[in-house]
């Protein structure tokens, strides 16, 4: 039962264009969503997040959009740069029994072409 | 300003041996999470610990796997009698004591476990 889904395993984008990575979730209890970036042989690095009470959060070239009614969020990177080539994980968290649980998607491999 | 430290980075074991993976959280962090990543798959939650307590182990296999986070020293993920299917990258993440869920986790660079 995959509660957080990233249906596109890979994405290729030309340098300077917009990259859009998508994520769908099923659990309406999630109250916080995060994006992580992962390079080979390294651990995931936190990129940007959004609370469930917001629909948009922006940080430089990175913007995350949340559509609660559709249970969908997306990460926009503009303009895309070759250094953005990595695997991007979407994650969602919620509180249960006083603790916090994070559920990760399977990742989308982004390749930015120079 | 050390981040989350995991060691060893690479660990090779033969079937039936024990594997011990260590994780030192970031300074000031008292929450530790362990995840497993199988080839071509995402991060699967295994266990969540605070100092001397296992908070959530719902992702841990019922047998052979155990985790601890003692009062002093690193968190340890222990796999007994390893099998080929245990080959994976194991990531540790830490976070500070928190008042709400809006705290991103900080990850180590993982331990790549290979079973011969």
3-class SS shares of chain B: helix, strand, coil, % to 5? 5, 50, 50
Between CA B112 and CA B90 the distance in angstroms is 6
For residue A25, pLDDT over 60 is answered with yes
Which residue among A36, A42, A103 places its CB closest to the CB of B45?
A103
Contact between A31 and B101 using a beta-carbon 8 Å cutoff? yes
CA proximity to B81, closest of B12, B11, B18: B18
Report pLDDT digits (tens) over B26-68: 988 889 999 999 877 789 999 999 988 998 999 999 999 999 9
- Minimal CA separation from A16 to chain B, in Å: 28
Instruction: Name the closest residue on chain A to residue B36, using Cα atoms.
Output: A104
**Token pair 């986790």 is at which residue?**
B105
CB contact under 8 Å between B91 and A43, yes or no, is yes
Using one digit for the tens of pLDDT, what is the confidence trace for B60-110?
A: 999 999 999 999 999 999 999 999 999 999 999 998 876 555 678 899 999
DSSP secondary structure, B13-75, as one string: E-TT--EEEEEEPPTT--EEEEEEE-TT--EEEEEEEETTEEEE-TTS-SSSEEEE--SSS-E
The secondary structure of chain A in percent helix, strand, coil, rounded to multiples of 5, reads 5, 60, 40
Residues of A with CB below 8 A from B102's CB? Answer: 32, 49, 51
Chain A residues in contact with chain B using a Cβ-Cβ cutoff of 8 Å: 6, 31-32, 34, 36, 41-46, 49, 51, 89, 93-95, 99-107
Whether the predicted pLDDT of A98 surpasses 70: no
For chain A, what is the mean pLDDT? Answer: 93
The pLDDT of residue A94 is 85
């Amino acid at each position: 039962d995959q509660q957080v889904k990233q249906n596109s395993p890979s994405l290729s984008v030309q340098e300077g264009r917009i990259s859009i990575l998508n994520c769908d979730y099923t659990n309406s209890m999630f109250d916080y969503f995060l994006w992580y970036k992962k390079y080979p042989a390294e651990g995931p690095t936190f990129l940007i997040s959004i609370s469930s009470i917001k629909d948009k959060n922006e940080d430089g070239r990175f913007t995350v959009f949340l559509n609660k009614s559709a249970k969908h969020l997306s990460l926009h990177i503009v303009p895309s740069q070759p250094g953005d080539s990595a695997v991007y994980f979407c994650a969602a968290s919620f509180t249960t029994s006083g603790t916090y649980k994070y559920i990760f998607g399977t990742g989308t491999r982004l390749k930015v072409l120079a | 300003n050390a981040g989350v430290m995991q060691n060893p980075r690479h660990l090779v074991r033969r079937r039936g041996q024990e594997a011990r993976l260590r994780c030192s959280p970031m300074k000031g962090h008292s929450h530790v999470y362990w995840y497993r990543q199988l080839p071509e798959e995402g991060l699967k939650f295994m266990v969540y610990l605070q100092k001397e307590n296992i908070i959530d182990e719902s992702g841990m296999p019922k047998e052979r796997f155990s985790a601890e986070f003692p009062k002093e020293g690193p968190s340890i993920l222990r796999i007994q009698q390893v099998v080929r299917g245990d080959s994976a990258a194991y990531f540790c993440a830490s976070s500070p004591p928190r008042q709400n869920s809006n705290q991103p986790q900080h990850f180590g660079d993982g331990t790549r476990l290979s079973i011969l």
